[in-house]
A and B are shown apart, each in its own frame.
Chain A
Amino acid sequence: MDPSKIEFLGEKQLVNIVPNFNLDIIYLISGSVGPFRAGLPVKVPIWLAVSLKQKQKCRIINQEWMNIESLNDRKEMEKMSKLFTEMPSNHYIDESQILLNVANDDIPDADRIRTSVKDIWDIRMSKLRTSVDAFVKSEGVHARLDHLTAMEINSIRPLLPHALDQMLRIQSANMGEINSQYSGKK
């Protein structure tokens, strides 16, 4: 899948905004949002927040986990742990990309948050690469990776599933089950 499709899915996450206009509830297929009262915070999907922000009709309040102390704590935990630690959101990397790009002025310490998120991403990606390699070498048939987020899972596609398919193909040749145009049966 294209990363922008993952981002599209991530845009369904909710974020708090402070609108500067009044409007009744908007009814949408995915659920209703609002009502909007100027100055009062309200939860909306990120895609709506981005659009309102671009029209300068709201101020985005950053996600609770998006502050520099908690991110640095997470970073330290991620460094210490051999396993993947739990992330605040299943779409942490895409959410921070979107919000930090569009609402740079609303979020305090935006640049440091960006660096911190990127560090966490890099640590996790290198862990992922190591564990994928260990998994393939270990002759295991299944592996369990908790707390992996959508974008990270997508990053090993299609390489890992394809490689596993090929391994199965080579293995099943030994079982004599491989289909062939010569054996006459399919």
Chain B
Amino acid sequence: MTTLSYSYMPDYFSLTDILCTEERISCKVEVTLPRLGFLDLSSESEDLKIGTKLELPLWLAQPLNIARESIVSVDIPKTYKEGYREILLADACTVVLNKWNPYYYELGMYLRKFNNRDCEIIIDSLLLTFRSRFRLVMDWAQNPVSDPTLNSLLPRLERDLFLAGRKAKLQLNEWLKKGSNVIETSQSAVNLKKRKRTDYELD
């Protein structure tokens, strides 16, 4: 499945990555920012004062936080904090992770970049969560489940896995049922764009 391989590395064109970095993070301003008062709708002043709390998208919060003198300090979203991590530790399979955040894993990996003492624990917790939920995803993918809401229960990363697994399973079932079918030309061979003789002679 091509969409999945695009999301492996956050590259410039990865839609998952773009949507994930849209996520709002609550930040606190550490330096007075002149003429940026309009960012905080509640204040009337022209400048953005120290200590103002506001929500910035991840793509903006990160460069502002990473600089030597951080311009904003970042508060990690509550779904990554200890209380929520405990829930995941207890039983990750019962959680509707998509409701917490559709890009739970991706965002968690980005949070690693903030200077926060919890970061390493967050990654460990992500890994553990993924491990224990994998059985769930695999079972759903390999057994016929006719629940249309299933898609909306899984966060993006798991959903891509689920759809790929489901597709393979359907193909296998199809084959087991009716035996052989026509082998299609592989996509890479189609993309070669071999010139047809008819086109060639027309020129």
Contact = CB atoms under 8 A, between A and B. Distances in A.
Interface of A: 2-5, 7-8, 97-98, 101, 129, 132-133, 136-137, 139, 154-155, 157-159, 162-163, 165-167, 169-171, 173-174, 176, 178-183
B35 to A, nearest CB: 25
B180 interface: yes
A167 B171 contact: no
Interface of B: 1, 4, 8-12, 17, 59, 62-63, 66, 105, 108-110, 112-113, 120, 123-124, 126-127, 130-132, 134-135, 137-138, 141-142, 157, 160-161, 164-165, 168-169, 171-172, 174-176, 179-184
A133 B138 contact: yes
Given A166-B130, A167-B131, A132 B138 contact: yes
B123 A155 contact: no
Contacts of A165: 8
Secondary structure call for the B interface: helix
Contacts of B63: 182
B181 to A, nearest CB: 5
Contacts of B182: 4
B41 to A, nearest CB: 27
Contacts of A155: 168-169, 172
A167 B66 contact: no
Contact of A181 (B8, B12, B160): B12
Contacts of B66: 182
Nearest to B105: A170
Contacts of B165: 158-159
Nearest to B4: A162
A153 B123 CA distance: 30
Contact of B171 (A3, A97, A174): A3
Nearest to B62: A182
B165 to A, nearest CB: 4
5 contacts: A169-B8, A174-B120, A174-B123, A179-B9, A181-B10
Given A132-B138, A133-B138, A166-B157, A178 B109 contact: yes
Nearest to A137: B131
Contacts of B11: 181
Kindly name the residue among B8, B160, B169 whose own CB sees the greatest number of chain A CB atoms within 10 A: B8
Contact of B138 (A129, A181, A182): A129
Contacts of B174: 3
A176 B184 CA distance: 42
A164 to B, nearest CB: 10
A2 B65 CA distance: 47
